[in-house]
A and B are shown apart, each in its own frame.
Chain A
Amino acid sequence: MSKFQDKTTGLLTNVDLKSARGKILYWILFAILIACCLITFLPAVWTVFTALKDPNEIYTSTKFFPEHLSWHIFVTRVADSWNQLKFGRSIINTFYYSAVAWALKLGVCTFAGYAFSKLKPKGSTMVFILILWTMMMPSQMRTVPNYISYLSFPFASRTEFGIGINLLNTYWPLWLGGAVDAFAIMLFKNAFDAVSNSIVEAATIDGAGKLQIFFKIMVPLSVPIIIYESIMTLSGAWSNFFGPYLIIQDTTKQLLPAKIFMMGNDGTVKQNTYLMGLIIAAMPQLIIFAFFKRYIMGGINIGGVKG
């Protein structure tokens, strides 16, 4: 009960929690939260159990738990699903795609954030406002015009003249289009704004150039926000479905989200294998989350204040 006494802030304070009514209310709210956790967790648990069921079992038994479960069955199920789904190629592709997407986006957006935060050449404030406005622009309108421009990049409509490069079936439209993100630029600008000007001035007097200041001062002092944005970029790239689905038709270049979408349309894939496919697809992000939970939960605070 000491936990209640220590609670001096918030909507429910220790004064409320002394009374029986306050305590009942608290535990009712607690129960509601547990119920919500159940709602978020039950589908995941069901997915795992169904994925481990025997192929004959899924359509005959409506039990929640698999009838037989052992380490051997677990390994067999994973191996069988893996062999049937053939995700290997697309997983390697997705790793490759995400890595380059991450490097490009971080490079482009941190540089831009640096320019708008510390360098501030004449006219940059106006341009930054323009960038903030682009955040407000609905994205759906760009789907088709962008696709047209990929056909003969960067000249867009001149497909008939045969100049420009056809970017379809390459990762370039995804990399380049994903590299610029107004929100990330704003995030980095705010992070760099927090770096004291006197440090930058001292470094300038010592003869440091702009690039040196960027790599030796700005980046090291903004590590949490860079990690946060890295996680967001990597998991965004990992789950990017629609763009790759349109652009990459070549099956050897296919990315994982498009691949699991195809799996969804494939009638020969049984439910247990299908769900195993979803687990495999979600795995990397779960691992990232397990390691970087602190940054994800903390980083959104930083973004959220601005949002």
Chain B
Amino acid sequence: MRNKNDGRAKKLNRGGFQKRTFITSWLFAVPALILMYLFIWRPTVMGFVWSLFKMKGYSPTYFIGIKNYVEVMKDTQFIPLFINTLEYVFWSLVVGFLPPVLLAVVVNEMVHFKQKIMTLLYLPAIIPAIAVSLLWKQMYDPTEIGLLNMILVKFGMSPYQWLNDAHFTILWIVVSMTWKSFPGTMLLYYSALQGVNQELYEAATIDGAGILKRAWYVTRPQIMGVLILNFVRQIIGVFQVMEQPLAMTGGGPDGASASLGYQLYKYGFVTQRVGHAMALGTIIFVVLIFMTIFYFKLNRKLEESL
């Protein structure tokens, strides 16, 4: 009798203890979860919900269905802005995708001043992004006081318009963005290269593979995962470009460098078309979610093939 009671008391006590452990354990995660709800999950859902409402200032008034979307898409600027945004992505892949990979591979092979070179190359990553944009705006100055025109003039050429050349404004902005971001990406690839199986190089060399063949058949497959990840991350990041046109060109000349993200900023905070801003935000979100799904599909395929 006595023993039985003892056992029950122990069990009860244990249950209470477990419950307390359960609650106190969750308490550690609660601040993060509350903040995540307030600043990430809720605004993402509400951005979609409110995009279906007529907004008065920053308050939703009544449901209007997809009217905001229709108005955003019908805007004569929408197609050019979409094309501009794709142009940002295109140039960023042309200018910014391969150089960090190649640099990482080359730095990895160096036996002279390896650490010093890495440190020198890392410099742009340390400067605040907004300062980089403003610095490059000065370097692109269309008169001879800008660094790039200074160099052109030194070599006997005439000063060039840089950011004022509507055909290539986006390219020049992308060049400045790449200058800022490539060291970080390079480090990422560099650390991926540390994991490459060195024996495979030996085996390939014995089989008579040249340097390029080794790079293609040994190095490439082993860093493919990071390559694809960065490829997709870069597209997703650049698709949302906004600060750079805001700081460097104000979307100009004549809208040539305005992106969807920049338009969202203008809808939301300059022209006070808040409903349109959220509809545009949802459109960008959907496009990027498709990109992300595409990435996971691609990644799975890659994992299967390995």
A residues within 8 Å of B by Cβ? Answer: 3-4, 6-7, 9-13, 15-16, 25-26, 29-30, 32-34, 36-37, 39-44, 46-47, 58-59, 62, 64, 107-109, 111-112, 114-116, 119-122, 124, 127, 131, 134, 136-149, 151, 154, 156-157, 159-160, 176-177, 179-180, 182, 185, 210, 214, 235, 238-239, 241-242, 246, 257, 260-261, 263-264, 271, 274-275, 278, 281-282, 285-286, 289, 293, 296-297, 300-301, 304-305, 307
Q: Identify which of B50, B183, B187, B278 contacts A304 (C-beta below 8 A).
A: B187
The answer to whether B24 touches A210, judged by C-beta atoms less than 8 angstroms apart, is yes
Residues of B in contact, count (CB < 8 Å): 101
The answer to whether B28 touches A239, judged by C-beta atoms less than 8 angstroms apart, is no
The answer to whether A6 touches B111, judged by C-beta atoms less than 8 angstroms apart, is yes
Tell me if B83 is interfacial: C-beta within 8 Å of chain A.
Answer: no
24 A-B pairs with CB atoms under 8 Å apart are A4-B111, A11-B214, A26-B109, A30-B112, A40-B120, A40-B124, A43-B136, A109-B32, A131-B36, A139-B240, A140-B261, A144-B274, A145-B278, A145-B281, A148-B46, A176-B35, A238-B128, A239-B131, A241-B128, A264-B134, A271-B145, A300-B187, A301-B187, A301-B194
Q: Identify which of A40, A111, A180 contacts B39 (C-beta below 8 A).
A: A180
Tell me if B158 is interfacial: C-beta within 8 Å of chain A.
Answer: no
Q: Which A residues touch B226, using CB under 8 A? A: 304, 307
Distance in angstroms from A193 CB to nearest chain B CB is: 15
The answer to whether A46 touches B36, judged by C-beta atoms less than 8 angstroms apart, is no
Q: Which A residues touch B278, using CB under 8 A? A: 141, 144-145
Convert B282-303 into 0s and 1s, putting 1 for each residue whose CB lies closer than 8 angstroms to a CB of A. 1011001100100000000000
The answer to whether B127 touches A140, judged by C-beta atoms less than 8 angstroms apart, is no
The answer to whether B184 touches A300, judged by C-beta atoms less than 8 angstroms apart, is yes
The answer to whether B50 touches A140, judged by C-beta atoms less than 8 angstroms apart, is no
Q: Which B residues touch A159, using CB under 8 A? A: 58-59
The answer to whether A120 touches B135, judged by C-beta atoms less than 8 angstroms apart, is no
By beta carbon, the residue of chain B nearest A214 is B28
Q: Which B residues touch A271, using CB under 8 A? A: 138, 141, 145
Q: Which A residues touch B94, using CB under 8 A? A: none
Distance in angstroms from A245 CB to nearest chain B CB is: 9
Q: Which A residues touch B80, using CB under 8 A? A: none
Q: Which A residues touch B188, using CB under 8 A? A: 300, 304, 307
Q: Which B residues touch A111, using CB under 8 A? A: 28-29, 31-32
C-alpha spacing A146/B37, complex, angstroms? 11
Q: Which A residues touch B105, using CB under 8 A? A: 11
Q: Identify which of B205, B229, B268 contacts A147 (C-beta below 8 A).
A: B268
Q: Which A residues touch B131, using CB under 8 A? A: 239, 257, 260, 278, 281-282
Q: Which B residues touch A40, using CB under 8 A? A: 120-121, 123-124, 179, 183
Q: Which A residues touch B130, using CB under 8 A? A: 239, 241, 257, 260-261, 281
C-alpha spacing A29/B24, complex, angstroms? 57
Distance in angstroms from A305 CB to nearest chain B CB is: 7
Which secondary structure characterizes the binding site on chain A?
helix
Distance in angstroms from B145 CB to nearest chain A CB is: 6
Distance in angstroms from A288 CB to nearest chain B CB is: 8
Distance in angstroms from B24 CB to nearest chain A CB is: 6
With A111-B31, A148-B50, A260-B134 as given contacts, are A242 and B242 in contact (CB-CB < 8 Å)? yes
By beta carbon, the residue of chain A nearest B50 is A145
Q: Which B residues touch A144, using CB under 8 A? A: 47, 264, 268, 274, 277-278, 281
Tell me if B269 is interfacial: C-beta within 8 Å of chain A.
Answer: yes
Distance in angstroms from A175 CB to nearest chain B CB is: 10
Tell me if B137 is interfacial: C-beta within 8 Å of chain A.
Answer: yes
Beyond A141-B281, A182-B36, 16 additional contacts (C-beta under 8 Å) are A13-B202, A33-B117, A40-B183, A119-B25, A137-B285, A141-B285, A146-B39, A154-B38, A180-B32, A257-B128, A264-B137, A278-B127, A289-B122, A289-B126, A293-B119, A297-B118
The answer to whether B26 touches A115, judged by C-beta atoms less than 8 angstroms apart, is yes
The answer to whether A124 touches B264, judged by C-beta atoms less than 8 angstroms apart, is no
Distance in angstroms from B112 CB to nearest chain A CB is: 7
Q: Which B residues touch A141, using CB under 8 A? A: 43-44, 47-48, 278, 281-282, 284-285
C-alpha spacing A65/B122, complex, angstroms? 24
Distance in angstroms from B132 CB to nearest chain A CB is: 9
C-alpha spacing A47/B288, complex, angstroms? 37
Distance in angstroms from A299 CB to nearest chain B CB is: 10
Residues of chain B from 164 to 201 with CB closer than 8 A to chain A in the complex: 179, 183-184, 187-188, 191-192, 194-195, 198, 201
With A11-B215, A138-B236 as given contacts, are A285 and B42 in contact (CB-CB < 8 Å)? no
The answer to whether B40 touches A142, judged by C-beta atoms less than 8 angstroms apart, is yes
Distance in angstroms from A135 CB to nearest chain B CB is: 10
C-alpha spacing A16/B118, complex, angstroms? 24
The answer to whether A148 touches B58, judged by C-beta atoms less than 8 angstroms apart, is yes
Convert B39-64 into 0s and 1s, putting 1 for each residue whose CB lies closer than 8 angstroms to a CB of A. 11111101110100000001110000
Distance in angstroms from A93 CB to nearest chain B CB is: 15
Q: Identify which of B41, B47, B112 contacts A134 (C-beta below 8 A).
A: B41
